[in-house]
Structure 1
């Protein structure tokens, strides 16, 4: 069973702006992290998963190539691994090409060092974005109670929406948990699903395009988006907020 670990929004060299927009939307963000790989990040942590803003130093002092090469916006789908070597072997047995387990870390002041092991699917096998698996070697430095509560009430990631991506390729990864789903759309169906908000998502495809989050305050998100000068729509079933600077939609549902 595939369990979501986190989703990634690539901010490239614009991490400050992304951090500020998400804070204005009512999210609690972790302090800036500095990976030993050279990237920087902020997290929005929920009970058992998180949304990550990842980027590179604005001064260009460090370049992590796969981030620099990726378009801004929703870019990473990360499932959880309990045993990276076994994950690598399982993927290989399924005929998928992956990199051997890679170990890296980032300081979490004043608590300690968050350490991770990842197995990454090599590019070209999955349309839309980067796909990989992550094991948390020190989860106590990531899933901390003080970061799990958000003013906007968000408590879970519910779905990642893909445009013109091959559903069958993703099915080769295994059976996903019922708590999180991948929603596959042709462009016309995506536009119909998200209405006028879809105009803020560029026509490039295949791609990751929208993220669905759960919150009891889904109707109130529009007021936060208005204060942040972000386009939004509220209907009987959801509020959709566009992030034009990051070519991504956020959908808030009960």
Structure 2
């Protein structure tokens, strides 16, 4: 068993949540019971995640996409938000959110872990968003077929990657930006990358990729952002001896 306050302080410091500007109100977003025996990790703060966490006997839910965002207007407590808060109150669950901190982190971040999964070398920061470079680009030891890279992502992320084969069919220089990283298409072209791997890409971004001859793998916004919360939860297990569980609530995006 661990104290909630100690877990929060540890995550704040380890992930650097107070140092990173973000639209998400990162850190403890909802305070439940102070004694934590089990931590559930999830991509989204939502009704299915909270219900599954409660069913699994968790006291704390660690999420990537939280409940509170500075760029969203204050919402009345009705509809889906009312349902989500109802589960938290009923089961005395706490919610801790880490958005950009779990994209950026050099060891526990989504992008660093995707690079590790792919075996990218000579990694460098890129993918600037709101003046912050979220992703990494690097090189494979040797060229690989884009289709083979997509299969590797499919197996490791339990995803169904979509290949937009607008350019090269084999890749060595690869850029990775988890989640909605389609905004980095033009930067990928300027860097001379062979392939962009992201979660999802918008229509106008795909048009640019096609015109520029850049191949893209869209592996799923949800799927590419499962790695960070799992890694952070594993760190809590190691540090505090709490039990952990990943609660899967995919959106299909």
Larger radius of gyration: 2
Fold conserved between structures, TM > 0.5: no
Q: Give the TM-score normalised by structure 2.
A: 0.24
TM-score (structure 1 length as normaliser): 0.24
**Structure with the largest fraction of strand:** 1
